[in-house]
Each structure stands twice: as C-alpha cells, then as structure tokens.
Structure 1
C-alpha cells in the first residue's frame, strides 16, 4: 500500500469533525493519517480526545499576538509534525494571507452551507429565513477570501417542516461527519487518479499557442498548428501501446538526450515502446511527486521543436526583451 498522507487538524472547540477524521483514519485502507491536532485554545475539549487517541497535540492561545505571529506558531508546529495537509475542523480564526499561501492547495475546510450560499456565520438560520428546501455542507480548498475556495464536494440536507436552526444543524453535522473524511481521502490521492493527472496535463498543453487536442490510438495527444497540418508535440500515456504507467510523452532533441535523461533518473524517465526509437521520452506522472512546473517546461520545449517557424520566431523576438 502507498505511504499515507500526513494530516494536521486545527480546532478551536470540541472537534466533532476532527473525531470523524480520526476514526476514519483508523481504517486500514484510509489513505491518510492524523499526525497533529493543534488549537488556539488550550482548553479546547477536542485536544483531550486527540491525546487519548495517541495523537500529538499543540495548543497556543492567540491573545496578545498578532494574527501573523500566531499563525507562524501554528505553521511551525505543523511543519515539525511532518504534515503534508492542513484540515480546518471548527478552527475559529481567520487565517493570515501568508499562512494560507504557505499551504495553498494543501488546506481544506468544511462549511455548513451549500456554498457559494451563506458564507460566514448563522448559516442554518439564513437558510431557514430564505425559505430554502435544502441546506447542507461543503468541503472546499482554503483561499485568502473567506469560504471562497474551490469546492471539492457537497452534501444536501433536506429542511423539514418545523425545523429550527438547532434541529437543522444537528442533521447537517451528521452529513459533515460523512462528507469530510471521504472528501479528504479522495483529495490526498488525487495525484494517483489518471483523470486528475490528464486534466493537469491538458490545461498546460492547451495553454500553449495554437494548440489543439486530438486522440491518437485512443489516447489524448496535443498538436500545434492547424487542424489539417498540425504536428504532435505530446501524448498522454495510460496503457498506450501496452505502457503500464501513467505518463507524458514529449519530444527530445534526439537519442543522446533521451539516453542521458534515463541515465540521470530512470525512475522518472523511460523510453516509450512505440516512439522511443524516434527520440521521444516518457515522463512518469503516477509517482505522487510530480513537479508540474517541470511538466509545463517540457511541454513548452516539445511544442517548440515542432511549432511553425512563424510562432517560434515571435517567441524568440519576445525573449530578447
């Protein structure tokens, strides 16, 4: 089984969502483990639960500290724990932009409404006052804007006749306890999901000038130039011509460069079965440590090797300034 993702949870109170995550992590096939529970309140009841479950804890009051200074204390504790992801579970602090940026795409939150509806507080009563048929909860990535990051998953909860804010909140909490562990599990394993990997490649390939996508032998490929005369500069490989790995095929300058790359990092690079004799190189994308800036650079380099001279000439001129 692949190594589990290491997760730190930030709480301010009882930590019921934290408990749901802790107990979900005990399943043998859960792809994450909880390595730290931290709080801005040393008296938070959730800390005692974490300690009883043999999870490391950290608590530091925020009173008397700037937001940035307290966030730095939390950040340092998370780094020491070895956590790769931060999960907010009732953490009643607005985080500084600096902290959010340090954990960009690695920090998630759960919010008790169907975002983008009802950001902020009093979400249950606001849904009732609006006469909504359903309320619910959302898991989203954390960005500097409050409750505004990309939504990863949602669960709808029916509003019943006679509901008040408390009765509605109690049912939404049940939904939260189901949604949060499942969503976190999917998110920490996304880099092994071929569809997610393909989407990352596609966005970067199609960002290049005059690029379009066309299938080749049942796999996505990207061409530069017109639909009629365009040339391929990249292919997505997942069982393409019998390849077992998920990867990206790009052009090199020739067999010498191909061989040098494979010698330097044989885990990352290999010669593709069908295209290898033409100097193409395959880059593994299913190792769980893909450097997407590196992939973007390779796509641009391969694009440049086959792009029409009118396009490369314009780039050469721009590079001089």
Structure 2
C-alpha cells in the first residue's frame, strides 16, 4: 500500500489514492495513510456476515468516488457479489509466478519444488482465487540456501516495483489510443463480413469490398482526441448529440452531416453503447443480403 501511495505522487502517475480501507482497525497502513493525509475506512469483520461486511466496504469505496480497487495485503476472501461489482476494476498482487502456487506458502513451495525463480504477479480479481487475468510478473532468482523468509524479503522489493507500474498502466489504458483502437477492432470485426483497412492514417472498418461503417481517429490533425466515427441519420441527430454532450460528441472534419465522432478517451466509455453504435452504423451501409438475415434473427 505504501508503494502504491508514494508512486501516486510522482509526476505523471495516472492514479491517486482516494481511500485506504481495512478490515483490521489496527492495521499499521491506516496510520501511514492518515499521516500522509489520505482518508481511511476501517471495519472489523468479526461478528458480521461476509456479504454484510463487503457491502459496507463497497459503500465506503463508492462514497470516496473510487474507480478501482487495489488489494494490498487484504487477506480476507471477498464475496462473489463484491467481486462482481468491481469486475475489471479490482487488482491484486500475489507472491508467486502465477499460475504456479496460488494460495499460501508460495515461497516455500517454490523452494521445495527446486524452482530457479520465485517472483510476483499482478492480476485482475475474479471469483476464483488467484486465477484472474495476468497484468504483469517479475521473476526473482532463488539462491542456494534461501529460506522462505529470505526469498520473501527479495520478492517484496519486486512487488514494490511491479504493482505501481501495473496499476498505472491499467488505469491509463482507458486513454491509450492503441488500447482504445483494439477495443473497437474487437467489436467491429465481430460484425458479418467486416474488414479493417488503414485510410488517411486512421483504422477504418467496412464490409468486404463495400462501404465503411466506422473509423478510429487518434489525434487526427493534432486535435488531441481519440474518437470513434460512425454513421447517423443526419444533421439533426448530429446537432442534437453535440448539443446534449459537447465534450463527448463532435462533428468530424471532412465527414458529412451523417457522421458523428464519439470521444473514447474520456475514461468512462460505455462499451455496450459502442457496440450499439457500431451495429447501427454497420446496418446503415451493409448490403440487404446481410441485413435481411439479421432482421430475421432479431425476430426470434
């Protein structure tokens, strides 16, 4: 926790710590957080149902306007409901090179197995303990004569380097043009007969040997924005969208009034809505032989 906190105060770090929470009111990290001016929340879990305790934690996190949760030595198994509420937004660090040695006693297990290296892993938290998608790993050599304690001490140094880097990278990805383009690509290419090409320096998507239905503009002409360009009904809808949310919507340069640009780099992109925009835009240009099949499928 201290490593994450102090890293957050370095120039250019994309995250800040808004709350340090614990199920142990005597946790030393709480005193450190208070000394550094970080709000804290502590609630002992003894005598509380797991779901009740996790609901109180969730309320404290949302009240602090937290966007992500970084577990740091939180040794209590979280309820499935809590994990679901923070799906894709909760990270953990584990002292082994996952998938090797989930659970406890990781250093001793690595030594007894004769491994050349131990290490640590940062992963997303899922309902299955220590099995979420990996975000980063750092290997630490096991030296002759190492004990679990001596290896753990060196792995701790690695943890303090790895966790802040992985958290920063993960938080920053929501404004990274490459990551944003990849998210659009995954959705656009799932549409029937979609193909990707490069046009005017932008990734664009269309029907094979047909018209284009989407473009991704990344700092196009130096505008500093990453946006999805899709077809709409016309100038009236374009004007209405821009009037309702001028930060998110704008008229794309060199495109007509039947296109809209939707900012993807504001940090709060609704990817379900992006799915809908892409499907609508695809339908607007796809040949009838493709749309007719989907129209029939939609009836069922």
Q: TM-score range by the shorter chain?
A: over 0.9
2:135 matches 1:178: no
| Corresponding residue for residue 87 of structure 2 | 104
| Corresponding residue for residue 270 of structure 2 | 291
* Contact 1:109–1:142 under 8 Å retained in 2: yes
| Corresponding residue for residue 27 of structure 1 | 10
2:225 matches 1:245: yes
Residue of structure 2 aligned with 1:49, choices 7, 32, 47: 32
Mapped partners of 2:42, 2:239: distance in 1:
52
Mapped partners of 1:39, 1:314: distance in 2:
54
| Corresponding residue for residue 68 of structure 1 | 51
| Corresponding residue for residue 84 of structure 1 | 67
| Corresponding residue for residue 147 of structure 2 | 164
Aligned pairs for 1:115-264 (under 5 A) are: 115-224=98-207, 226=208, 229-240=209-220, 243-264=223-244
The offset of 1:28, in angstroms, is: 3.8
SS of residue matched to 1:93:
coil
**Unmatched runs of 5 consecutive residues or more in structure 1:** 1-17
Q: 1:243 to 1:83 in 2, by over 3 A?
A: closer
* Contact 1:241–1:274 under 8 Å retained in 2: no
**May I ask how many residue pairs the two structures share in their alignment?**
300
The offset of 1:157, in angstroms, is: 0.9
The offset of 1:167, in angstroms, is: 0.9
Mapped partners of 2:248, 2:28: distance in 1:
46
Mapped partners of 2:137, 2:79: distance in 1:
26
Mapped partners of 2:44, 2:123: distance in 1:
26
The offset of 1:178, in angstroms, is: 0.9
List, as ranges, runs of 4+ consecutive aligned residues in structure 1 with deviation greater than 3 Å: 239-244
SS of residue matched to 2:153:
helix
The offset of 1:179, in angstroms, is: 0.9
| Corresponding residue for residue 302 of structure 1 | 281
* Contact 1:243–1:273 under 8 Å retained in 2: no
When the two chains are superposed, the root-mean-square deviation of aligned CA atoms in Å is 1.6
Mapped partners of 1:22, 1:265: distance in 2:
34
2:259 matches 1:280: yes
Residue of structure 1 aligned with 2:246, choices 263, 266, 275: 266
- TM-score of the superposition, structure 1-length normalised? 0.88
